[in-house]
Structure 1
Amino acid sequence: MVSEPAPRHQPSHLTHSPSSAAPMDATGGIDAAAVCDLRRDPKIPEPFVWPNADARPASARELDMPVVDVAVLRNGDADGLRRAVAQVASACATHGFFQVSGHGVDAGLARAALDGASDFFRLPLAEKRRARRVPGTVSGYTSAHADRFASKLPWKETLSFGFHDHNNTPVVADYFSSTLGPDFAPMGRVYQKYCEEMKELSLTIMELLEVSLGVERGYYREFFADSSSIMRCNYYPPCPEPERTLGTGPHCDPTALTILLQDDVGGLEVLVDGEWRPVNPVPGAMVINIGDTFMALSNGRYKSCLHRAVVNQRKERRSLAFFLCPREDRVVRPPPSAATPRNYPDFTWADLMRFTQRHYRADTRTLDAFTRWLTEPAS
């Protein structure tokens, strides 16, 4: 998983206010027991209430986003490739979201991965907490991110774990067996295979992004060949007061690329032209969005976009998010052919991850705030 470099200074203007700080125990440390069983709450507790500006209703207009056939990269369809590149370029210049078909991910595997999430989140809370996330890290189970924040909590549970394919080690399968026990070995094998498929799909998408940006073929694919990525299973229980809370608050992903598999319930929304626009599930397709790390790799030509997830009163919702990340110590910089001047300094993914985990709640200003954090002299 993401390794943590030595601590560095934290400028005062980036310090969280007490209202958004993680709960503390009597010793001043993070209260690891601060988790909630959302299915037992008949009303929205106060920490889950979001400001009206964040929780305002969505537009009736669905997000205008293409469904791009990525199979054209392999089947020799030159016209199809030109069409796919144009679709990606248009989407990424507008809001950074598109869907992909022809990805080759087995439908049975995708269904098993979604069902595995259901099986895990329906476990008793005591069993889920065997995988409880250690504060300051990414891997593990959390309910409503209550280990990090005390206000504007999301109405969801998550299970996150790291993935890489260095040395052909089955890191995901090993995580499930070692953390949850041998009974979870079959689930671990499902997610191991799913992450392997997501890694290959992410490299295919990088090829499309290379062509659309006019970057040397293979540059981005090679950059992420030894990636250390994050897999997250999301569970959004039915909510008694969905208009007062959010499943995931407005944010931009700090990672490079997100591949999202939704079930058929829907809930993802993207902010475009001041309106929250829904992204309705397309059977067999996966949702792709640009994150801050790729925004830096493209020198700002492709931008990450604010998005959120809403909940509803009647149905549970599941989604699987694969976050493509560089190797922790790899230096993030645009290719030599990128336009100058540079918009962002060189940085490592480990530094950006630690910044968003410990010092800053990701939003549209993350890269700018991170740049100041990197460049300001230590006090």
Structure 2
Amino acid sequence: MGLERVQAISQQSMSINTIPHEFIRSENEQPVITTVHGAILEVPTIDLNDTDEEKLVGMIAKASSEWGLFQIVNHGIPSEVISNLQKVGKEFFELPQEEKEVYAKPQGSKSVEGYGTQLQRELEGKKGWVDHLFHRVWPPSVVDYKFWPVNPPSYREANEQYTNYLRNVADKLLKCLSLGLGLKEHEMKAAVGGDDLEYLLKINYYPPCPQPDLVLGVVAHTDMSTLTLLVPNEVQGLQVSRDGQWYDVKYIPDALIVHIGDQIEIFSNGKYKAVLHRTTVNKDATRMSWPVFLEPPSDQLIGPHPRLVGEGNLTKYKTKKYGDYMYCKLNKIPQ
């Protein structure tokens, strides 16, 4: 069966009320010590259906510059489409273990696709309290259905329906982000891959933990791709770093959470900021989230846009292929 899954470790740990030492974070990471308690961060909330385009562009640009994170409402994705996405994802993780292992990431695979536990190398050898399932959902040329569960039977339909709506949301956001930099509306999308931009779905499954104050689901990081569009379930867990402190983020029902990723920070030459975030877990309930990462093709060269450098605005980032950037980031190699 390979690696022991966190879902199984959770069941063992809950029965003995303790956790394996490799999940216990150092004091500078433990949520009990590092979280600002009693404060819920209300990140910018943006009505994506606002008919005043200039206002909408301004709000998205401001949130991306000052926060790197915002929530969008009235985004056009029906509630039932989001509910179906969540339902089939939850049902997959409730399958017998041997059924889930059919979709396990192949040994030695350089792709992230598949069911798994560990994702990136951690310098202290610590582990995150999370299992996951990755697979690409768009464009059709990169979709590999062997990583899409056949159970529950409606899994494919629910994911494809959600993706069709999400693509419209992503296009609108990229257009607004481009205009917010003083560029033409198509320039950002074109620079990060255009119609070849890959949509990579990840389902995060954070089972209950008897000592949640000592662990992290996912360690502090910025997303390496362009944009992340995320649906959480109702269990709190997303935390954002603000002025060097960690805060819980207030959820809004049916909102999508938008993260600015590294490639947009690079393209904007630092005007837009990739958000530093992490996830905590819960003692009594399972937290889940459904981020979709908008990834450039691996050979796509990305660097600061020429019109955003010069006249005292120095180039702050190297231009490099996305695949090379991703390799360095996952293996903790300086960029």
- Matched residue, 2:43: 65
- Aligned partner of 1:263 in structure 2 is 233
Secondary structure of 2:278's counterpart equals strand
Tell me the CA shift for residue 137 of structure 1. 2.1
AA aligned to 2:82 is A
C-alpha contact (below 8 Å) 1:203/1:225 kept by paired residues: no
Equivalent position of 1:41 in the other structure? 12
Partner of 1:334: helix, strand, or coil?
A: coil
Moved more, 341-350 or 243-252: 341-350
Contact 2:301 2:322 in 1 (8 A): yes
TM-score (norm 2): 0.88
Amino acid at match of 2:9: L
For the residues of structure 2 that align with 1:211 and 1:312, how far apart are their CA atoms? 40
1:276 alignment counterpart: 246
Q: Determine which of 220, 223, 241 is the counterpart of 2:211.
A: 241
Report the 3-state secondary structure (helix = DSSP H, G, I; strand = E; otherwise coil) of the residue aligned with 1:351. Answer: helix
Change (3 A) 1:34 1:71: same
Give the C-alpha shift of residue 148 in structure 1: 5.2
Identical aligned pairs, as a percentage?
26
Tell whether 2:256 aligns with 1:286: yes
Unmatched runs of 5 consecutive residues or more in structure 1: 1-31, 361-365, 371-379
In the alignment, the residues of structure 1 paired with residue 151 and residue 208 of structure 2 have an alpha-carbon distance, to the nearest angstrom, of 28
Give the 5 Å matches for 1:172-251: 174-176=145-147, 180=149, 182-223=150-191, 224-251=194-221
Q: Say if 2:111 is the partner of 1:141.
A: no
Q: 1:183 to 1:128 in 2, by over 3 A?
A: closer
**Cα offset for 1:211?**
1.9
Name the SS of the counterpart of 1:53 in structure 2.
Answer: coil
CA distance in 2, matches of 1:118, 1:183: 11
CA apart distance, 1:160: 0.5
The structural deviation recorded for 1:163 is 2.9
The CA RMSD measured in Å over matched residues stands at: 2.2
Contact 2:112 2:119 in 1 (8 A): no
TM-score normalised to structure 1 length: 0.78
For the pair 1:84 / 2:56, whether they are aligned, the reply is yes
C-alpha distance in 2 between matches for 1:163 and 1:348: 22
Indicate whether 1:297 and 2:270 are aligned. Answer: no
Pick which of 255-264 and 132-141 moved more.
Answer: 132-141
Distance 1:163 1:355, change over 3 A: farther
Shift of 1:146: 7.4
Deviation string, structure 1 residues 219-264 (Cα, Å, up to 9, x no partner): 1233433202311001111110001101111111111111110111
State the shift of 1:166 in Å. Answer: 4.7
2:97 pairs with 1:121: no
1:63–1:278: 8 Å Cα contact kept in structure 2? yes
Displacement after TM superposition at 1:147 (Å) = 8.4
- Please state whether the residue corresponding to 1:261 is helix, strand or coil: strand
Match of 1:131? 103
Q: Which has the higher strand share?
A: 2
Unaligned runs of 5+ in 2: none
Contact 2:176 2:185 in 1 (8 A): no
Name the residue aligned to 1:346.
319
Distance 1:141 1:214, change over 3 A: same
Give distance in 2, aligned partners of 1:184 and 1:48: 31
Q: 1:146 to 1:342 in 2, by over 3 A?
A: closer
Q: Equivalent residue for 1:317?
A: 287
Q: Is the 8 A contact 1:219 1:335 kept in 2?
A: no
Q: Is the 8 A contact 1:270 1:277 kept in 2?
A: yes
Q: Does 1:94 align with 2:66?
A: yes
Does the residue aligned with 1:41 lie in a helix, a strand or coil?
Answer: helix
- CA spacing shift, 1:160–1:203, aligned 2, 3 Å: same
Contact 2:43 2:70 in 1 (8 A): yes
